[in-house]
Structure 1
């Protein structure tokens, strides 16, 4: 196995990050939804610790972006929590939770532990900063296949119980995160029926 290094990304990494996005989200995925140079600059300037890059043999194979928020269980959208991808107006340095707004892995490197390494780094950052938890709005891309049979809460319960498998939520559960609430109209996402699941990992120091 090729060692995977997690390090902060900088604006100098933009072209490499864009290559990962192009490979992970090819057409007809809208190009305007890839990270822009301005957004990457905002991540680095606003919260550099949350801007993470995965590298193997000098090749950028994945990335993850997070910010700090004050946790509340109220409904929200990705655009609201991510400040439309810029995080400047939504990052709360004195908040109590790390919130992940993006994980991207090259398809050619999936299944080789890249995303897991990024999530481990996020947990380590939670502990290092003394935050209470890690949060994310988790896609449920398998839900559209069952939407006529059950509501989103029932689907999440079935995946959590191991009765169904969802490519994203099942992975999150393996990382030790647990479902908190279904978020309606979280993101324009046909597979997830525009829904997401707020998932949480608790810092053991606060468990």
Structure 2
């Protein structure tokens, strides 16, 4: 089952490169990839006691293929896409914040990454995670505040923190005498989280390209 899903993901990945040149094939492959990502998110959530916050944390991981499909859809508009991408980013960081804050039991690897990355004690790591959780909530809320500087500040935090939390999987588990474990397990754990900062980064570029005047058939954006 796992191997079959892996093959499905690899095949679906080609949809990203084909969607512009062969739209029908590319869209089909992206749809398959999105459904597989959603199925994996359901399984992972089930393994984490069915916590809705965990499913929310995976939002960018499973919804990104559908966002790309939406870009090539006849239903696309700046307003709809902008709202969809902000909601997806916000859900991801709210879900992450629920764990960091301690609403759900703080994962051991969260603490270990803080200890390894910053050289702090366990109690200090928990305190830092609580602050990070609060900032996750604040940044997610900032995406919906109709003040440009607040929206941008929240997005900058999300990009930086998304990058650091992804790379922390490698950094905190880096052992020169055990590179095979790093590559076999933690490299994939890192790359699957690249969407946590790449999609927000793409949104930032999009904001800058629109020069703060996003408009659509339903009127101007509420944010920029």
Q: TM-score range by the shorter chain?
A: under 0.3
Structure richer in strand, relative to its length: 1
What is the TM-score when the length of structure 2 is the normalising length?
0.25
What is the TM-score when the length of structure 1 is the normalising length?
0.26
